[in-house]
Amino acid sequence: MTATVASKVPFWRNVNVLKWIAQLVVVAIVVAIIIWLYGNYTENASRQNIPTNFDFLDNPASFQITGNPLSQNAPVRDALVEGLLNTLRVSIVGILAATVLGTIIGIGRLSTNWIVRKLATVYVEAVRNIPLALFLTASVLVVVLGVFPQITDAWDLAGLAIISNRGVAVAWYEGSGAGLLLILGVAALAWYLVARWRSHVADRTGALPRSGLWGGAAFVLVIAAGWGLFGYSSTLPSIEGRGTTGGIRVDPSFFALFLALTIYTASHIAEIVRGSIQAVPRGQGEAADAVALSGFQRMWYVILPQAMRIGIPPIGNQYLNLIKNSSLGAAIGYYDLTLVAQTTVGNGSPAVPVFFLTMTVYICISLVVSALVNIANRRMMLVER
Amino acid sequence: MRPMTRRAIAPLVALTLLGAACTSDDDSGGGDSAPADTEATEDTTATEDTTATEDTTATEDTVEVVQADESTLDAVQSAGEFRCGTRDDLPGFATVDETGEHVGFDSDFCRVIAAAVLGDATAVEMVDLETPDRFTALQSGEVDALVRNTTWTATRDGNEGATFLQPNYYDGQGMMVASDSGFTSIEEMDGVIICVAQGTTTEGNAAAEAARLGVTWEVRPFEDVDLLQEAFVAGQCDGWSSDTSQLVGLRSAYPDGPDALTILPEVFSKEPLAPAVADGDSEWAQAVNWAILATIAAEELGITSENIDTFADTEDINIRRFLGLTADDEAVLDPGLGLPTDFAYQVVSQVGNYGEIFEEHLAPLGLERGVNAQWTDGGLMYAPPYR
């Protein structure tokens, strides 16, 4: 055996050490740049006596968020929280609506019916290629200000909704919101349990499970029981003076933003859904036909589960885009987080800390949504055998 | 030594060196990075209470350095051009005509400052700013002064880092409604929607006024005046609230004609509109301030752009001193503002006095002098003596 001479490689030629040194140099450069930028900023700000800390959060906001009971003397912190809630509201509602609409149109693009297919194609191709800011302006000018009538001629939909260019007033419940969430949770649980029971029955007796019908019925019954037991009532909207009373009023800016975001994001989601359905091996569809599954069953039990596995990451991306695009509401007066931040800066809060805080909040929201999407993705992947 | 320990030494040494470099105190300014580093250390290691004190000591150091290095007055005079922050969409105050020139009350005051500082009223670059960005532009030095019908408030003096000068228009907030809405007073307006421009004192004032009157107003902000007008025409707004001078201008340019709108009689806030400069340069602030005061003083002395040359041989010492006129046995006053000794002459001859500027741009809209008259006529325009 040859004796290996273990001569120590000097550290300036030792690859391991060099790798460490290279990384350290890069880190040092990045840290130095950040420190230099921060130093520049604090020096410039202190020259003009502009504060560089977060004390502005305790200052009064001096503006009132449209449609919000928060007083204008409330601290900036509360106003920012309201802005965040507004962003979340339009984002969550927009995500739900865009997913449903996008999935339907995506499946429609693959329909055997020529008209349905053509309409879906026209929708997707037209909407995908229009910038969202333009869409939003059109949504406000054309739909809300153009089509919707003035409050004096508002459309009354059987007393359940009143539509005008001052907002959409919809019949709403009266009672505790948290309690309603609890009832909905219990109802969902009831649906799940009843559906499971029905599938057991189907296994035992061979009868059709019809778990959708039974589960749905249980859902409705639990809600009705909860409604009656806990004394909920409904309020219907009506026109009073130059506004509406009763029900819940959807702000016209919210409605315009929701409409634009939903239609725009749905067109992207439709393309993703179409692509993922087409990526499912053709044999799966043929096998489903061979086992005599109906069109709906084929889609719901065979194709969509496999398609979703492919489609979830890009759809999650579209959700993140929707959340970020909700900041365009600032241009139409919807008090989302971005507009609240801009207004507080206009009222005297120092610009850099405010926007740093706002960006951090947006990053946190996006990270949470990405994490949820990744969880969903991982769960779908585990299902595969 | 074991390999792991030896591998750990290099990074530890590097970090120590880095830490030493960043936390060293620098007493004699050795370069740009020195004050930056001390700022960073003081900010990161101090608690909230002490940060304030440490910032002020650092401010004093850096302010002296800055004023010795770069004064805005010198910078503008050597550049030969004055950048004026303004707008292009407010009739009467600042609009752009067919030739691309800015025309209006505020635009003329930009020219007044250029005439005083540079001797040439055309040596001004008009920088159009959106309302939410105007203070950031001033703070960052993008514009040398802001002449953009901006209200002087305590927060803007403080947190916004602006220094406000002699107000060139004392205004108040008013309400404009459609003539066929039937409103004759703001007290009748309950449960209505009021539309305002975003990022202005108008929002807060409207909400405060509603609270004071005990009525409910829903205040909707609009970033763009054009979008606001669309909403008003479509009937989404019952009232349009803004500075009365702005309302008069907007009403004159309303697509359905001025008679379709009524401005209600109540004025419910004080809006002193004044030019502003950035904090921290009092030499520049005073120079700009005296340029504006020159227009007011000229009107008080009866000097207009038409008759200014008739004063060449006047016996009035005050006028001779004011216009910087020279004679054989006379010394010309140089008050040390950094302005040329004949700055007032340049201002009045090239642009005009306060009354002329007002007459040309605001009187056609129907605005009266009111509180903007000279103090001798019962108004608020009072220029300090030039001596």
Interface touch B39/A43, C-beta < 8 Å: yes
- B153 shares its domain with B280: yes
Residue B216, CB half-sphere, CA atoms under 13 Å: how many? 8
For testing contact with chain A, the best of B4, B63, B203, B216 (most A CBs within 10 A) = B203
- B187 shares its domain with B219: yes
Q: What is the DSSP string of A337-376?
A: HHHHHHHHHHTT--HHHHHHHHHHHHHHHHHHHHHHHHHH
**Of B273, B305, B338, which residue is a domain's last?**
B273
Q: Does residue B2 lie within any of the structural domains?
A: no
- B283 shares its domain with B141: yes
Interface touch A333/B198, C-beta < 8 Å: yes
- The single-letter DSSP state of residue B242 is E
- B198 shares its domain with B321: no
For testing contact with chain A, the best of B236, B237, B284 (most A CBs within 10 A) = B236
- β pairing state of B217-222 and B239-243: unpaired
d(CA A32, CA A30): 5
Interface touch B234/A165, C-beta < 8 Å: yes
For testing contact with chain B, the best of A29, A65, A86, A166 (most B CBs within 10 A) = A166
Nearest CA in chain A to B37: A39
Q: Does residue B324 lie within any of the structural domains?
A: yes
- B185 shares its domain with B206: yes
d(CA B106, CA A254): 36
d(CA A237, CA A171): 6
- B95 shares its domain with B160: yes
Q: Does residue B96 lie within any of the structural domains?
A: yes
What is the per-residue pLDDT for B3?
58
d(CA B146, CA B278): 9
For chain B, residues with pLDDT lower than 50 are: 23-68
- B83 shares its domain with B231: no
Q: Which of B6, B161, B207 is nearest residue A72 as measured by Cβ atoms?
A: B207
Task: Identify the CA nearest to A322 among candidates A266, A254, A261, A255.
Answer: A261
Tokens 């800055």 label which residue? B66
Contact of B187 with B203, CB cutoff 8 Å: no
Q: Which two tokens stand for residue B197?
A: 């421009």
Give the minimum alpha-carbon distance from A24 to chain B in angstroms, rounded to a whole number: 7
| H or E segment and range at residue A156 | strand A155-157
pTM above 0.95, yes or no: no
Nearest CA in chain A to B282: A48
Quick check: ipTM above 0.90?
no
Interface touch B207/A64, C-beta < 8 Å: yes
Give the minimum alpha-carbon distance from B192 to chain A in angstroms, rounded to a whole number: 6
Q: Does residue B384 lie within any of the structural domains?
A: no
- B147 shares its domain with B93: yes
Give the minimum alpha-carbon distance from A372 to chain B in angstroms, rounded to a whole number: 35
Interface touch A20/B10, C-beta < 8 Å: yes
What is the per-residue pLDDT for B169?
94
Give the minimum alpha-carbon distance from B112 to chain A in angstroms, rounded to a whole number: 25
Give the minimum alpha-carbon distance from A330 to chain B in angstroms, rounded to a whole number: 8
Nearest CA in chain A to B238: A242
In this structure, the dihedral spanned by the alpha carbons of residues A160, A162, A163 and A169, taken in order and rounded to 10 degrees, is -80
What is the per-residue pLDDT for B43?
37
Task: Identify the CA nearest to B82 among candidates B135, B118, B31.
Answer: B118
Q: Which of B135, B156, B220 is nearest residue A333 as measured by Cβ atoms?
A: B220
Q: How many helices (H) and strands (E) does chain A have?
A: 12, 8
d(CA B200, CA A321): 30
Q: Does residue B6 lie within any of the structural domains?
A: no
Q: Which of B48, B66, B234 is nearest residue A53 as measured by Cβ atoms?
A: B48
**For chain B, what is the domain count?**
3
- B164 shares its domain with B282: yes
Give residue B120's domain range.
74-168+275-377
Q: Which of A42, A48, A240 is nearest residue B278 as measured by Cβ atoms?
A: A48
- B269 shares its domain with B280: no
For testing contact with chain B, the best of A54, A137, A240, A242 (most B CBs within 10 A) = A242
Nearest CA in chain B to A138: B227
Interface touch B40/A56, C-beta < 8 Å: no
- B92 shares its domain with B239: no
Give the minimum alpha-carbon distance from B372 to chain A in angstroms, rounded to a whole number: 26
Nearest CA in chain A to B61: A47
Interface touch B22/A150, C-beta < 8 Å: no
Q: Which of B37, B207, B231 is nearest residue A145 as measured by Cβ atoms?
A: B231
Give the minimum alpha-carbon distance from B248 to chain A in angstroms, rounded to a whole number: 24
Strand order of the β-sheet with A248-250 is: A155-157, A161-164, A167-170, A248-250
d(CA B307, CA B292): 20
**Of B50, B69, B88, which residue is a domain's last?**
B69
Between chain A and chain B, the number of residue pairs with CB atoms below 8 A apart is 166
CATH number of the structural domain spanning residue B224: 3.40.190.10
Q: Does residue B355 lie within any of the structural domains?
A: yes
Residues in Cβ contact with B375 at an 8 Å cutoff, skipping those fewer than 6 apart: B381, B382
pLDDT per residue over B191-205, tens digit each? 888 998 876 778 888
Give the minimum alpha-carbon distance from A157 to chain B in angstroms, rounded to a whole number: 20
Question: Across chain A, what does the average pLDDT equal?
Answer: 88
Q: Does residue B365 lie within any of the structural domains?
A: yes
Give the minimum alpha-carbon distance from B32 to chain A in angstroms, rounded to a whole number: 9
Give me the residues paired with residue B178 across strands: B261
Give the minimum alpha-carbon distance from A354 to chain B in angstroms, rounded to a whole number: 13
Interface touch A39/B35, C-beta < 8 Å: yes
What is the per-residue pLDDT for B297?
95
The angle formed by the CA atoms of residues B49, B52 and B56, to the nearest 5 degrees, is: 155
- B303 shares its domain with B368: yes
Interface touch A252/B236, C-beta < 8 Å: yes
Contact of B221 with B203, CB cutoff 8 Å: yes
d(CA B387, CA B130): 39
What is the per-residue pLDDT for A36?
95
Q: Which of A39, A56, A339 is nearest residue B40 as measured by Cβ atoms?
A: A39
Q: Which of A49, A241, A252 is nearest residue B279 as measured by Cβ atoms?
A: A49
pLDDT in tens, chain A (385 residues): 555 556 788 878 888 889 999 999 999 999 999 999 999 998 888 877 778 888 888 888 877 787 777 877 888 999 999 999 999 999 999 999 999 999 999 999 998 899 999 999 999 999 999 999 999 998 888 888 888 888 888 888 887 888 888 888 888 888 777 888 888 899 999 998 999 999 898 889 888 778 888 889 999 999 898 888 888 888 888 888 777 887 888 888 999 999 999 999 999 999 999 999 999 999 999 999 999 998 888 888 899 888 888 899 999 999 999 999 999 988 888 899 999 998 888 777 888 899 999 999 999 999 999 999 999 888 777 555 5
Q: Does residue B8 lie within any of the structural domains?
A: no
**Residue A339 with chain B: CB contacts under 8 Å:** 198, 221
**Residue B62 with chain A: CB contacts under 8 Å:** 43, 46-47
**Of B223, B254, B273, which residue is a domain's last?**
B273
Q: Is the dihedral of CA B338, B342, B344, B349 positive or negative?
A: negative
Interface touch A46/B132, C-beta < 8 Å: no
**Residue A40 with chain B: CB contacts under 8 Å:** 36
